[in-house]
Amino acid sequence: MRTDTDVDVDVVIAGTGVSGLFCALKLPADRKIILITKSDAKSSDSFLAQGGICVQRDEDDYESYFEDTMKAGHYENRKESVEIMIRSSRSIIHELIDYGVEFQTDKENGEFIYTKEGAHSRPRILYHEDVTGKEITETLLGQVRGLPNVELLEYTAMTDLLINEGSCEGIIAENEKGTLHIHAGNTVLATGGIGGRYKHSTNYPHLTGDAISLAEKYGVRLENLDYIQIHPTTLYSPKPGRRFLISESVRGEGALLYNKNKERFVDELQPRDIVAQAIYKQMEKDGMDHVWLSLERIPEKTILSHFPNIYKRCLEEGYDMLKECIPVVPAQHYFMGGIWVDKDSRTSMPHLYAVGETSCNGVHGANRLASNSLLESLVFARRAAEDILRNQ
């Protein structure tokens, strides 16, 4: 029996990070869409991404980019997905620029400036200062808000799926007005990661893996739930709450990790899991709650232009990156596992898709290569939208 709380749409998307927003933008204007988010629309981990977004620079870059991604993932990556992501990267960047996203360029010739991060064999990362995620997500959100066919519901939490004879037909959600039954031809899960389940995480605390729990409830295939990435460098604080990320690109530009005696103890550009393990080992050896990150090799001009927000936040915590080392500690950062999806972001349940950190399409393997997350989310969100259109 249907009530006033029942709504019919073509597509419902749970989550307003880059994957949810991009999926909505890639669907045609004649499709009625509802986007929901558990908090306000800007409180997604996509907004927090600092370092940048990877891109295949040219044809000669393909093999090394592929190998860097596979090596970082301990060769447990799905090769087909990695190839799709890399081959799609240039078109994704062009689409972002068309929407209004701005990346750093050389003022003299207008060409892109690329930076390098840990485990990359060459610079291939585009960035916008140290707030690349904010630049991309805010731009996409602005575009979505301008679409007449999309309704965006903030502070609306998904509590269940609507299932009929083994097929997904929408979701049940709750907000201050009560319970809402959103019936949809296709449902896209884009609820982000699981950092809210951890004491120390770079994620927003409301990101608790809701879609993962619902998928498990209905027997939707899951994959690699134990593949959790720890980011090596977050700003140490004795205070509880979300940890502030010190971007991988800071080390990519030359920052060094020191022990309590200000001695270097690790190659800072190794994959994240290796660097994090080395830091944990050094902390135990030193009897310290953190190690030190020194930016003394990075020119002041680069720090102020490339990392202005990191510099500002460290100052607020009492540390001047231009004059002293800052204390850093590893924290939960990214979830490589999730709801299993195929190359078109389809789950094992008909009419149910998963994108972004909620999904596991195999790109990241056992350990994500730095700055692949934004690209992967956008590539496979677009593929989800394309598949929805093909099968309607």
Domains and CATH numbers, the chain: 6-226+336-390 (3.50.50.60), 231-332 (3.90.700.10)
Tens digits of residue pLDDT in 186-213:
999 999 999 999 878 999 999 999 999 9
Please answer whether residues 137 and 190 qualify as being in contact, where contact means their C-beta atoms are separated by less than 8 angstroms: no
| Predicted confidence (pLDDT) at residue 1 exceeds the cutoff of 70 | no
Burial class (CB in 10 A: 0-12, 13-18, 19+), 195: buried
> Residue 27: what residue type?
L
Active-site residue 272, yes or no?
yes
Please state, for a pLDDT cut of 70, what percent of the chain lies above it: 99
Residue 329, token pair as written in the block: 């500690």
pLDDT given at position 304: 95
Tens digits of residue pLDDT in 244-302:
999 888 999 999 999 999 999 999 999 888 999 999 999 999 999 999 999 999 999 99
Is 128 in a helix, a strand, or coil? coil
pLDDT given at position 2: 55
Please answer whether residues 369 and 89 qualify as being in contact, where contact means their C-beta atoms are separated by less than 8 angstroms: no
Q: How is 257-273 classified by DSSP, letter by letter?
A: EE-TTS-B-S-TTS-HH
| Predicted confidence (pLDDT) at residue 331 exceeds the cutoff of 90 | yes
Please answer whether residues 37 and 15 qualify as being in contact, where contact means their C-beta atoms are separated by less than 8 angstroms: yes
CA 338 to CA 192: how far, in whole Å? Answer: 10
Exactly one of 57, 272, 346, 382 is catalytic; name it: 272
CA 160 to CA 1: how far, in whole Å? Answer: 17
What is the average pLDDT across 108-135?
93
What DSSP designation does 212 have? H
| Predicted confidence (pLDDT) at residue 240 exceeds the cutoff of 80 | no
> Residue 362: what residue type?
G
CA 159 to CA 291: how far, in whole Å? Answer: 41
Residue 260, token pair as written in the block: 């309590």
Q: How confident is the model at residue 49 (pLDDT cuts 50, 70, 90)?
A: confident
